[in-house]
Each structure stands twice: as structure tokens, then as C-alpha cells.
Amino acid sequence: MKTSVIPIFIPHIGCPYRCVFCNQWQITGHRGVPDAADVQHSIDTYTAGVTEPRHWEVAFYGGSFTAIPTTLQEQLLQPAYEALATGHIQAVRCSTRPDFITQPILDRLRSFGMTIVELGVQSMDDRVLELAKRGHTAAHVLEATALLRANHFTVGHQLMPGLPGENWDSLKQTTTAVCRLHPDMARIYPVAVLDHTELADMYRAGRYKALTVHEGVERAAYMKQAFLEHTIQCIRTGLQATKDLDDSTQVLAGAYAPAMGELVDTRRYGQQLFALLDILEKEPIMISYHRRDTSRVRGYRNVTLIGAGRRYGNQLQWREDSTVMPGCIQIGTASQGRYEIYTDMRMIKKIECST
């Protein structure tokens, strides 16, 4: 059954800090503080006229939901709770700060039917968190994740590769720490430099070197591959495109691209495909994949296909094959047998040897 999200944006309310990267108005494309009527209107609008079965989730995004005044939390939650009770929607979720998770807070969320909480982790390196002015530490993430698990919530982590002070060692430290905590899901948002933020001032003054899109893809692909190998679902890579984010006067630099998710999967699939092709003898090779994986295997705008042609010559053929399972690349040769690459697990299996 298809899952559809009904987003409710609450930018810049509740959060006691202003992170150097943060401009929620641009990130969400929404302004103003919603009320209960807005929540009800969103539920009615999104679900109107939909006849096929769907799993509807109301999601409170864009701010620090558990940090906003309790009265407002309850006002916003009430229409979602009523829709949940009638079966009009199937789940309620929110995103919030790791340092605003306590037992009383979770008791309140649970009483309104919420079952999914995403934490704005960003990094597990305390030095990076300090430079980003997050106002919390990695220890808060550990404590919040443990408390959410103890209360049987589904847990999500949101990460931001490319923050000030981060290098590859720091990125690997964060990735390892998140894998060890094993949230149910993760989102990866490589840093984009938004105007009207402290990070923009740092960038203009030469005190912050922004990631290029290529560097952002490299770091996000590393994180996503590690998460998948640890069976952590990666539900988004890169900021959702909005009119403001597509405005070059608003996004000054950094790793923002509307197709970030495709670019990241292109890199993951391409690295694994080339690693196998590099060790095979040169001969005609058939590369087969499920239709769902065509853009990942051939690459965004066929970049992998073109690069493979330059690297290996005209020995490769590419085809969609409905018998190949999604997430798998099948390699067929005449003399060296047949191989399958299971991309999420970074595993190569030889499934047939020539006789």
C-alpha cells in the first residue's frame, strides 16, 4: 500500500537556538504558524477524492515540535488524533530536537496517537555540533534514541554532512555512531548555504568552505550505503526542491541539487558495478537490471553508461529484465560465468560458472 504524507510545517517556533545553517522559511517554503483548523484543512485537502487504499501519515515538520508550547502542541495534534481514531489517517509523526525528548513529552505524544519521531541529529561529532550552534551534544542523541526505543516509538535520524568543522574522519565517526544506534530510518541532507543565515555570512567572509555538489554526493553516498548495509532505511537524500531553493540568489553555495537522491544512487550503483567490471576479463558483457533501477544502473542522465563506455570500450550491453529483482545488477559473461551485485548490501555473488 502506498504511503502518503500530509505535511504540516511549523518553522522557527519552539526552537531555543538558531543554528548557523538554518533558514526554515526557505527550506520549507512555508511561512506563518498553523493552527488546528489548518491541520484539519490539510487532512481534508490531501485525502479528498482519493479512492484507492493508502497509508496516510500526518507529519509535523520544519521545527522542533516537542519544544513548542504544550498548549499549541495539543491544539495541532487534536485534529490528527481524531482523524486517526476514525481511520481517516493511519499514523502521526513529528521531527524534533534530541534535547527535547523526556518521558512526560513522550507520554503526551503517545496519548495523541503519535508513533514516529525523527530527531535532528545532524552530526555525532560534538565539535561539529558546537560550531553549528546546535545547542545539544551527541550524548543527547544517545539518550533520546534510547528513550524513544524504550517507549516503542519508531525512530528516525536526520543528518547533515558538510557542516563547519566536519572532515572525512568526522563523517565516518558520525556514520559509525548512527549505525551503532540503529534508528529505524534516516534522512541525509548535505549542507546548502542559504541566504540570511550565519553560515551565509561565514561563507561570504571566507570562514566556511562549502561542499560542491560532487562532494555532497560523495559524502551522502557513503552514509547511505553504510545505513543500508546496517538495514537502516534511508527515506530521503537531499532537500526537497522548492521555489526558494531553486533560486540561486537564495542558495549561495553548497550541495543542493533537485536530483540529489538520483545522483547519490548513481554513485552507489556505479562504484559497485565498476568494481566488478574492473576485475573481469575483457569480453562481451550483458548488464541486466529491473526497470525500477534503470536510472540508478545507467546513471543520472546516463552518466554511468557513458563512463563505462569510455572505460571498458564497446564490450557492454545494457538491458531491462523483469526477472532481475530490484536492487540487484546481474552481470553475464560467456566465459567467466554470471554474477549478481546486491547493491544495498554491497555484496557480489557468483551464481553460475562456465563449463
CA 335 to CA 355: how far, in whole Å? Answer: 8
- First-to-last CA distance in the chain? 44
What tens digit of pLDDT does each residue of 182-199 get?
A: 999 999 999 999 999 999
Q: What is the mean pLDDT of residues 99-104?
A: 97
- The answer to which of 40-44, 106-110, 166-170, 310-314 has the lowest mean pLDDT is 310-314
Half-sphere exposure of 173 (CA within 13 A, CB side): 14
Strands (E), the chain: 2-9, 54-61, 91-96, 116-122, 154-159, 185-188, 192-194, 233-237, 251-254, 285-289, 316-320, 328-333, 338-342, 347-352
What tens digit of pLDDT does each residue of 290-330 get?
A: 999 999 999 999 999 999 999 999 899 999 999 999 999 99
Q: What is the mean pLDDT of residues 262-282?
A: 97
- The answer to which of 92-106, 181-195, 198-212, 339-353 has the lowest mean pLDDT is 339-353
Q: What is the mean pLDDT of residues 77-83?
A: 98
What tens digit of pLDDT does each residue of 115-144 get?
A: 999 999 999 999 999 999 999 999 999 999
* Residue 257 one-letter amino acid: A
Task: Please report the pLDDT score of residue 355 as a whole number.
Answer: 47
Task: Please report the pLDDT score of residue 247 as a whole number.
Answer: 78
52 has a pLDDT exceeding 80 = yes
Burial 156-186 (b: 16+ CB within 10 A, else e): bbbbbbbbbebeeebbebbbebbbebebbbb
225 has a pLDDT exceeding 90 = yes
Lookup: cell for 157: 535520524
* Helix spans in 182-234 (H): 198-204, 213-229
% of the chain beyond a pLDDT of 90: 86
Contacts of 14 (CB under 8 A, 6+ apart): 63, 64, 65, 66, 67, 68, 69
Task: Please report the pLDDT score of residue 26 as a whole number.
Answer: 52
232 SS3 class: coil
Across the strands, what pairs with 57? 5, 91
Confidence of residue 352 (pLDDT cuts 50, 70, 90): low
Phi, psi of 186 (to 5 degrees): -145, 150
Of 118, 138, 120, 119, residue with least CA distance to 128: 138
SS3 content of the chain, % helix, strand, coil (to 5): 40, 20, 35
270 has a pLDDT exceeding 50 = yes
Lookup: cell for 50: 482519493
Task: Please report the pLDDT score of residue 18 as a whole number.
Answer: 87
Domain definitions of the chain by residue range? 2-258, 265-352
CA 56 to CA 264: how far, in whole Å? Answer: 27
Of 175, 177, 191, residue with least CA distance to 132: 191
330 SS3 class: strand
Confidence of residue 342 (pLDDT cuts 50, 70, 90): very high
In this prediction the pTM is 0.94
Across the strands, what pairs with 96? 119
Domain 2-258 has CATH 3.40.50.1100: no
Task: Please report the pLDDT score of residue 180 as a whole number.
Answer: 98
Task: Please report the pLDDT score of residue 13 as a whole number.
Answer: 74
34 has a pLDDT exceeding 50 = yes
Confidence of residue 353 (pLDDT cuts 50, 70, 90): low
Number of Cβ within 10 Å of residue 355's Cβ equals 4
Task: Please report the pLDDT score of residue 15 as a whole number.
Answer: 82
% of the chain beyond a pLDDT of 70: 95
Confidence of residue 354 (pLDDT cuts 50, 70, 90): very low
210 close to 164: Cβ distance less than 8 angstroms: no
